[in-house]
Structures are given as structure tokens and as C-alpha cells.
Amino acid sequence: MRRLFASPLLIAIVLAPVGLDSRVGYEATGSPAVGHGGEQTVAIIVNQSNPVENYSFDELRKIFLGERSHWPNGRRITLVMLDSSQPERKAVLRDIYGMSEKDFNNHFIQGVFTGAVFVSPKTLGSCAEVRKFVFNVPGAIGYVRGSDVDPTVKVLRVDGHLPEDNDYRIKLTGRAGK
């Protein structure tokens, strides 16, 4: 009797027409990679143990500006950003901060100096590094391209919306509604 072993490539070829994504628990059509209208989105991610599911845009902005230092459960917030060469960072600066790179740097330099901001964000070089950091640090919050989300992290709703929703505000290209 001859045994058949399915290679990963064969499985991918067989499942591709069904519309399944290789990430566990995601369907290709419902992936946070692309919002309605075909726009790439930037997902806000937290550690899976974080009890927060949804934040208003204003609350999220306070966290990113360093104006909030703790989650509602008392855990310290650790903000992680991509380095300045990444398009996701440019989108976050535009859509969340409403700042240029220079204004962002000045905000944190001045904030740490005056004590208005407790700590500057940690900077990493890739979405994979951000995802790994958020997975390993329970109080971490960061962002990745919607297509880089996987089950190791939790995607926060912003004003009740996920990255694939029409009214999601953080987009990789263009101007998001404010």
C-alpha cells in the first residue's frame, strides 16, 4: 500500500481557491490587510492578555502621545514604533499624531525633559519585530500593516472599528478622515 504525504505547497494550492489565508483564524476576504475600497490599513495591536478591546481615537492618541502611562488594569503601557523609514510609521504620524517626523521627535524630547511624558517610544525596524515585541510584553501597544497581523497579537478596535471596516481611520496611503 502506498502512502500519500501532502506537502505544504500542495496544501496551499488546494486551499487557495477556497479563500483561506495561511494565518490561522483568518479568511483572505476578511483579513485586516485591506479596508473596503482597497486601501491598505495600519492595525493597532496589543498583547493578547490585554483586556482592552476598543479605544476611542482620542484615547488612542493620548496613549501614543505618552500622556497615558498605564492601562485600565494598572499595567504600564509600553509604546513601540517602527523606524522612520517605514510607511506604516508615516501613516501613524499623519493619522494619529497629526505631526511630521521632526514635530514627533521634538514632542518626545520636550515631553521627557519637562516630565509631561514619562518615556519615549521604543523603535524597531520591522513589523515582524513589532509583532514579536508586543507578543512578549503584556503592556505593549504598537502597530503593523494590516496584512502583517497574525494570531499572536490582538487588534484593537478604534472607535468601534477594525482595520477592514469602512470607517477605520488609520490608512497606509492617502488622508484618513479626522
Report whether 93 contacts 99 (CB < 8 A). Answer: yes
Q: What is the reported pLDDT for 4?
A: 42
Low-confidence ranges of the chain (pLDDT < 70): 1-38, 174-178
61, 104, 150 from 95: Cα distances, Å:
10, 13, 23
* 1-33 residue pLDDT tens: 444 444 433 333 333 333 333 333 333 334 444
CA 157 centroid distance within chain? 10
Considering the segment(s) 32-158 as one domain, its CATH architecture is 3-Layer(aba) Sandwich (3.40)
End-to-end CA distance of the chain: 65
The domain segmentation of the chain, as residue ranges, is 32-158
CA distance 34 to 46: 19
Q: What is the reported pLDDT for 6?
A: 43
Q: What is the reported pLDDT for 115?
A: 87
CA distance 76 to 72: 9
Q: What is the reported pLDDT for 101?
A: 95
Q: What is the reported pLDDT for 37?
A: 55
Query: Residue 169 has which C-alpha cell?
Result: 481611520
Query: Residue 168 has which C-alpha cell?
Result: 477605520
Q: What is the reported pLDDT for 174?
A: 58
